[in-house]
Every structure is written in C-alpha cells, then in structure tokens.
Amino acid sequence: MADNKYAAYICSGCGIGDAMKVGQLENIAKKEGKMAIVKSHPFLCNAEGVQTIKDDIANEAVTHVCIAACSRRAKTEAFQFDGVAVSRANLREGVLWVVAAGKDHDEVRQEMAADYIRMGCAELKKMTQPAGNRKEGSSKRILVVGGGMSGMTAALEIAAAGYEAVIVEKTGALGGMAAQLWKRQPFKEPYSAAQEVGVGETAAKIAANPLIKVHLNSTIAETSGAPGRFLIKIAQESGAVSEESVGAIVQATGFTPYDVAKLPKLGGGQPNVVDQAGLEALAKTANGGAIKRADGKEVKSVVFVQCAGQRDETGTHLSYCSGHCCGTSIKQATYFKDQNPEIDTVVMYQDLRMPGMGEDFYRSAQERGVIFTKGKASKVSGGDSCAVTFKDLILDEENTIAADLVVLATGQVPNAGVDLEAWNPVVTAAEGGDEAAKVQRDAMRTTSVLKLNYRQGPDVPQFKHGFADSHFICFPYETRRTGIYAAGPVRRPMDILQATDDATGAALKAIQAVENAALGRAAHPRSGDLSFPKARLEGCTQCKRCTVECPFGAIDEDEKRFPVFNEERCRRCGTCMGACPVRVISFENYSCDTVGSQVKAVEIPDEDEEKPRVLVLACENDAYPALDMAGLARLNYSAFVRIIPVRCLGSVNTIWITDALNAGYDGVMMMGCKKGDEYQCHFVKGSELAHYRMSKIGDTLKQLGLEPERVQTQEVAITDNTRVVKLINDYVAELDKLGPSPMKGFG
C-alpha cells in the first residue's frame, strides 16, 4: 500500500541511553529498517513523548509505529494509537535489564539492541492494522437449550438485560428436574428449612415475558453457523420443523440421576429402596402428610446412604462427588422430621459435605434429631423391612440397621450429548468407508444435544467425566466452542443455587458473544482482537490440518475439502497458521511473514566471531511474561538470544525454524505452556501441537546436516523467571559445546 508510512521511536530513558548507543540504533532503524521517521526521546512514555508520536500520526500521516523502549507488556495504554499498527522492540526488559552490566558487555548488548530494532522494523513492515468489523453476525437473540431451572434462569436473565431468548425444551413443560422436587434446599438465611422450589412462578414469569419464546416438546435437529449467525432447526415431537436465528447459545441440558439398577449390592431395584428422585416423588404424593412407601405403608424409619455409586475408586461407578447430595439427603430427612419428629432418620455418610452456609442446614437437621452416622454401607437389602449393613467408622465395628425405607444418594450424570473423543475415530473410520462406522456415527448423532454441523463434531467437547466444563480455573466459561456456553449440572455437578448463579453467568457470556460477533471482535482470551485468519485458498492443498487442529472447531470444509473459516468462531490463536504446510493462512497483524521477517532481520555473525545466535519463540501468555520478570529481577541471561513473542506455540510454523537454521542460527528454543491432561495452554493444544510438530522436524534437520539438539521445546510457567534464565544459559552452553552451526555463512 502506497499510503503506509513507517516511523520508529527509540526511548533512551530508564538507563537505555546510558547503556546503549542510541544514535547507532537510530541509524539502523533508518537505514536497515527503512523507517521514514526515526526519533529518539529521553522519556518516551510520558505525555510529551507520546504526543510526539501522535503529532507525527496526525501531521505526518504515520500509519505504522515501532516503539523501541520497554516490553510490550509495559506502558501498553500509552502506546496504543487508534488505527495505527504498532510493533515493540523490547530494549528494557529484553536487553538493558538482562544483559550483564559493565563495559565488557557493551558490544553484545549493543548488538542485541540493534537486532531488536531490526526485528521491530521488519515486523512492522509486514503488519497491517486489522480492519475487523465484518458485520456478518448480527443476531442478538440467544438460544437456551433446556427448560429446567438453569435454562429458565438463563432466559429470564437474558431478557432482563433487554435481549431476546428462545428456549427449546424436550418435554411438554418447563421445570426439568426441579419440577420433580417437593422442596429445595434453603438458599438464604436462616438455612434451616427446605424452601419452595418455585418452578411454577418461574415458568409463569417466562410465559409473561415478551422477550422469551418457548418451544416445548422440541429438540434441536441441526445447529449451523457461528456466533451472531447461528441457524437452529427445531424439531417438534409432532415432526414439524421450525427455524430460529440466534447469536449465541446457552446449553442448560442438566443431568440424569445415576441409574440405581447399577447398584444391586446397595439394594438398587429392590422394593422400598429408592433414589433421591424417588423419595421426592413419595414426598410430593404425601404433600406434607406422612410419607408412605410404594406399598402404602407409612415410613417410620429411613436410612439415607450417601455416595451411592459415587466417589467410586474401582472404576465401576461414578468416581466423582455430585456435591449436592449431602444437602439433598439432609433436606429429605427434614421432610420426615418436620412431619413427625418420632420418625427415625439416619444419614450414613463418609464425609459430610455441606460447604459454606450449608453448615447451618446440617446443624438444623441435627437439632431436629436427624442422626448422622459416619459409616460405609456394604450391603442394602430391600423388602418389607430393609436392612443396611455397614461399617461404623467411629465405633469401628460392623453393624446392621433396619429401616422401612432406604434412600440411595446417587450422583448426577450430565446430559452433554456426544463425547467427541469417541466420535472422532468413528467419523474417521466412516469417512474411510467403514460401513459399520457409518451406522455407528449416525446412531451417535441421534444422541447429540446440539447437532452442530461443525467439522469437529456435533456437541461441545467434554472435559472430565462427561461434563461440558471449562478446563480453566480463572475462566470457567472459557469454552471450546465460541458462543456456546454450558450452564448448570451439564457443566459440573451442582445444586439449584449454584445452577442459577451459573446460568446467570452463562447468560452474560452469551450476551457478550453476540456483542462481540456484531463487532467482529474475538472472544476470550484475545478479547477485542479484530484480526482474523485469511487464507489464500489458491495455494491450499486441502490437507485438512487446519480443520482438524483448530482447537475451537472454527474451520469447516466445503465439498472440495477446502477450509471454510468461520471468523466469529475463531479465537485468533493462529493454530491454523502454525499447522499449514504451505503457509497460506495468515492474520493481518500476525503472519508467517511478520515473524519470518524478524527471524531474517537478525544479523548472524560469522563463525569465527564466536557469537552464537539463538532464536527463542516464546508464548506471549506465560513464557514471555516470565522472561520480562527475569528482567524486572535483573537476572542475567545470554546476550546471544533473540526472543520473539508468539500468540501460542500452536501458531509456530515450522518454516520459521527452518528459516532460522538456514540463516545460520545455532539453535532454536520454543517456550510454551504446560501440555497434557492438566494443560495450561490458553488455546488448549498449542503447546502439545508444537511438541508434536517439532518431534517430526528431525528429518529436516538431518537433511540440513544439523544435530537434533539445535531445536528445543520447553514447557514454561509464568512463575519461572529464574528457570527461564537457566534454560537459556544452559542451552547456550550446550550449543557452545556443539560448536557453531555448519549453516553459518550460507544464509
């Protein structure tokens, strides 16, 4: 573009000017960096310094600015200019603070600074300011799948914020599991008595709300599109199909109680042994009167067996705890005690789990005379007189207790649809022509909740135990399908109180998703990012790596198996860019070229100078901050490294590595987040993919006649400021032993 004008501003403050020859850096920016304007300033981040830049933007039509000062993580707000592309050369945290002080290091320090100027200018040349705002997705309506307590709450909260909600509920009425309860656990002080569930009132509010539309007896036949432009086909029980356009989805599909029939040892399936839902049914029938068993006999004694089929370490039943069941059994015990204090009620538990204010409810049940026995039931027999055999863990003895009724506190099984881990191999086999797999695929598809027509499968990826939860502690709604948010017990085992809170949070995220989609902005964690991947499809080889590897299922395939990018689903991590073997995918401000040109901009000294060069590609989320903090702590690392921050290791294209090695770098080190089950990668698989890709780079290295040690991949945590220093210094020492790269001088 003819209109681009490039300028570089070099700060000599914070001691940069004392330790480096700024004049020389200016010359490099001008001559090598080809910057139209180059200025230095003793205190660039202050108002006057920033004004200098603003004036040049206004008066000199500068469109691209290279700031050579502190880290991109510092003074971020000061160096933001609307509509102007900015690159940052990190002279402070990246050079001044990490290169040993003193004259002996003047030369290498200056070389390092000079390279960062070259890199900053080179990057800038390849950047364009993202235009964004494609305005493809403009629907701000929100679909809520499931009409239970979570779904109803989400819809009401969405409407209260002024947005339209559409509920799809598979049964003939709203209420879900909550509608089957006699009462619910107390959710506000004084936490001493079960409270009305309030399903009727909530459903009435929904009926009266003009912003909420309800489809009963309906399921989703297909979901296509992306945030801001989802198209939902809704199948009614009658067979009719209708369509709704929505901008985002809240999935509140709830849970199913664990099947008691799987617990024959605990009396599952025998007369007068019920699960918690069964007890609710009896209590509803009793309607405040004496609770009677199925055979009509009034219950005079009842035992609640906690953790039935839960917290199971044998792998047979649920391994997790469902969280709500202690409170639910306590509530149910109060049904009996409040009706007749003479009824014997025993809650048999291993750990009584009543967090927060729930402790008050526990106490209130004790006040009523509910007996709590720490014991583990080994056998329950049903019948006219039930018996529970158990180990009393306090009295340390085996015992048996008789009761008219036994209630098994079973767990929550999420209604999360198809498990993609199981789905993908079936689909691969089906696509390979396996007929049985095709049948299986179609059968699996019928169990799907959302029936997404995404390349990567019909439902949201599950986390653990089949729950559609986020893997992130700080970001519970950070989902792997942009614009789709799980809420309630489908996300995590929970009680009604938590589910309603959760539904409210999910409602916000859905609102945020439609707002972002309308503006063409990325969602978390690169929220606000207006760039999106562009592909030169004419160069595409239809290898499908990008469609398979995208962590967010953003890329579909057309009939010819070309990738179809859905920008609104994209999270701008660049994994597709890293995956692409022919390098046709790029972002306006982050591309194979923006990084590749930096790699190439570095001056590689001759072999005899004994100044190795090591390229470090550092993930901007954890590794780069750790490197910055090493600087902040004034820890020294080798001045032979040149560090480039990347969005995610998943975005690292192997071309950068081979380019670097061809250019004569002595080694390349990648620093990414933790991978594996407890991954830390904000883009899920970036670090893992990088490790995988680098494991395959051996052949290339061999062709170049290079040792495999010349490429390293490391997992780095944000707290590793001392460790990154050691990693770098050890690596430089290791390369030193290896000797200079034989490629030197050929680049």
Partner 1 sequence: MTTANQTAIERYRNNFLREVEANVEEGHMVKMCMQCGVCAGSCPLGPAWQHSPQKIFMMIRAGKRDEVLGSDSMFMCTSCYNCMVRCPRQLPITHIMHGLANYAHRLGLAPKGQPTRDFATLFWNNLIKKGRVNELTLTLRHYFRGGLVAGIKEALSMQSIGLGLLLAKRLNPMEIFGGHGVKDLKGFHAIIAKAKEIEDRKKGFSA
Partner 2 sequence: MTASIATNQTILVVGGGISGMTAALEAAECGKQVVLVEKAPVLGGRTARLYRYFPKMCHPTCGLEINLRRIKQNRNVRLMTMTEVTAVSGSRGNYSVTLKVAPRFVNEHCTACGKCAEAVSAEVPNPWNYGLDKMKAAYLPHNMAYPQRYVIDPSIVGTSEGEKAKAACPVGAVDLEMKEESVTLQVGAVIWATGWRPYDANKIQPYGYDRFANVITSLEFERLADPQGPTGGKILRPGDGKEAKNIAFIQCAGSRDENHLRHCSRICCMASLKQTQYVREAYGEAGKSTIYYIDIRAIDRFEDFYQMVQKDATVSFVKSKVAKIVENKENGNPVLHGVDTEGYHRYATEHDLVVLAVGMEPEITGVKLPDDIILDSSNFIEGSKDGGMFGAGSAASPLDVNRSVQSATAASLHAIQIVNKTARAEA
Pick between residue 645 and residue 740 the one whose CB is nearest to partner 2: 645
CB-based contact 668:646 (threshold 8 Å): no
Half-sphere exposure of 316 (CA within 13 A, CB side): 10
- 373 binding partner 1? (CB under 8 A): yes
Burial track 556-581 (b if 16+ CB lie within 10 A, e otherwise): beeeeeebebbbbbbbbbbbbbbbbe
Q: Work out whether 516 is an interface residue with partner 1 (CB under 8 A).
A: no
Residue 387: enclosing H or E segment and its boundaries? strand 386-392
Query: Could you tell me the smallest distance in angstroms from the CB atom of residue 467 to partner 2?
Result: 7
In whole angstroms, give the CA distance from residue 574 to residue 588: 11
State the residue for tokens 């993202």. 130
Binding mask 93-132 for partner 1 (x = CB under 8 A): ----------------------------------------
351 binds, among partner 1, partner 2, none (CB under 5 to 8 A by kind): partner 2
Select from 475, 606, 609, 698 the one that contacts partner 2 (CB under 8 A): 475
Question: In sequence order, what are the residues at sequence separation of 6 or more whose Cβ sits closer than 8 angstroms to the Cβ of residue 291?
Answer: 279, 282, 283, 298, 299, 335, 336, 339
| Smallest separation, CB 291 to partner 2 (Å) | 28
Instruction: Decide: is 217 part of the binding site for partner 2 (CB under 8 A).
Output: no
Residue 286 interacts with which of partner 2, partner 1, none, CB < 5 to 8 Å by class: none
| Separation CA 375–CA 399 (nearest Å) | 9
Q: Per-residue string for binding with partner 1, 324-363, x by CB under 8 A?
A: --------------------x-x-----x---------xx
Least Å distance, CB 328 to partner 2, is 13
Taking residues 55 to 84 in sequence order and writing x for each that binds partner 2 by CB under 8 A, - otherwise, the string is: ---------------x--xxxxx--x----
Range in contact with partner 2 (rule: CB under 8 A) among 205-213, 418-426, 586-594, 674-682: 674-682
- Residue 268 CB contacts under 8 Å (≥ 6 apart), including other chains: 259, 260, 261, 262, 308, 408
Site string for partner 2, 274-313 (x = CB under 8 A): -------------------------------------x-x
Cβ-contact 87, 124 below 8 angstroms: yes
91 near 99, Cβ under 8 Å?
Answer: no
Helix (H, G, I), strand (E, B) or coil at 693: helix
Residues 274-313 that bind partner 1 (CB under 8 A): 301
Binding positions for partner 1, 400-439, rule CB under 8 A: 400-402
The verdict on 189 binding partner 2 (CB under 8 A) reads: yes
Which partner from the list partner 1, partner 2, none does 293 bind, CB cut-off 5 to 8 Å by kind?
Answer: none
Q: What is the amino acid identity at position 505? A: G
Q: Which does 371 bind (CB under 5 to 8 A by kind): partner 1, partner 2, none?
A: partner 1
Tell me how far apart the alpha carbons of residues 651 and 634 are, in angstroms, rounded to a whole number.
30
- How many chain residues touch partner 2 (CB under 8 A)? 88
Size of the residue set binding partner 1 (CB under 8 A):
21
Contact in structure between 406 and 276 (CB atoms under 8 Å): no
Burial class (CB in 10 A: 0-12, 13-18, 19+), 48: exposed
Buried b / exposed e over 313-329, threshold 16 CB at 10 Å, is: eeeebbeebbbbbbbbb
The yes or no reply on residue 621 touching partner 2 (CB under 8 A) is yes
Regarding 387 and contact with partner 1 (CB under 8 A), the answer is: yes
120, 268, 309, 476: which one binds partner 2 (CB under 8 A): 476
User: What does the block give as tokens for 587?
Assistant: 């972002």
- Separation of alpha carbons 147 and 253, rounded Å: 8
Q: Which does 68 bind (CB under 5 to 8 A by kind): partner 1, partner 2, none?
A: none
Output the six-digit token pair for 128: 């364009």
> What are the Cα distances from residue 179, in Å, to 14, 192, 250, 284?
65, 22, 20, 10
User: Which burial class, exposed, middle or buried, applies to 707 when counting CB atoms under 10 A from its CB (0-12, 13-18, 19+)?
Assistant: middle
- CA-based end-to-end distance of the chain: 29
- Least Å distance, CB 346 to partner 1, is 7
> What secondary structure letter does DSSP report for 374?
E
Find the binder of partner 2 among 433, 678, 696, 737 (CB under 8 A). 678
Over the window 20 to 59, marking each residue x when it contacts partner 2 by CB under 8 A and - when it does not, the resulting string is: -----------------------x-xx-------------
User: Nearer Cβ to partner 1, position 346 or 503?
Assistant: 346
Sign for the pseudo-dihedral over CA of 32, 33, 39, 45: negative
Q: Does 366 bind partner 1 (CB under 8 A)?
A: yes
Stretch that binds partner 2, among 143-151, 447-455, 622-630, 693-701 (CB under 8 A): 622-630
Query: Which residues between 500 and 559 bind partner 2 (CB under 8 A)?
Result: 501-502, 504-505, 507-509, 511-512, 515-516, 524-525, 527-528
All residues at 6 or more sequence positions from 514 whose CB lies less than 8 Å from its CB, including other chains: 137, 139, 140, 141, 142, 163, 227, 228, 247, 248, 483
Residue 399's binding partner among partner 1, partner 2, none (Cβ under 5 to 8 angstroms by kind) is: partner 1
Tokens for 47?
Answer: 């108002």
What is the DSSP secondary structure assignment for residue 457, as one 8-state letter?
Answer: -
Q: How far apart are CA 601 and CA 219, in angstroms?
A: 57
DSSP 148: B
Q: Which of 188, 560, 696, 737 binds partner 2 (CB under 8 A)?
A: 188
Residue 473 touches which of partner 2, partner 1, none (Cβ within 5-8 Å per kind): partner 2
- Please choose, out of 183-191, 367-375, 482-490, 517-525, the segment that lies near partner 1 by the rule CB under 8 A: 367-375
Closest to partner 1 by CB, 252 vs 346, is: 346
Closest by CA to 468, choosing from 414, 506, 511, is 414
165 counts as binding partner 2 under rule CB under 8 A: no
Residue 440 Cβ vs partner 1, minimum distance, rounded to whole Å:
50
**347 near partner 2 (CB under 8 A):** no
Beta bridge partners of 331: none
* 399 in contact with partner 1 (CB under 8 A): yes
Query: Quick one: which of 472, 583, 607, 729 contacts partner 2 (CB under 8 A)?
Result: 472
With binding defined as CB under 8 A, does residue 721 bind partner 2? yes
Q: How many CB atoms lie within 10 A of CB 541?
A: 12
Q: Is 321 in the site for partner 2 (CB under 8 A)?
A: yes
**Which span sits near partner 2 by CB under 8 A: 107-115, 393-401, 553-561, 649-657?**
393-401
- 505 vs 742 by CB, closer to partner 2: 505
Least Å distance, CB 333 to partner 1, is 12
Chain contacts with partner 1 (rule: CB under 8 A): 301, 344, 346, 352, 362-363, 366-367, 369, 371-374, 387, 392, 394-395, 399-402
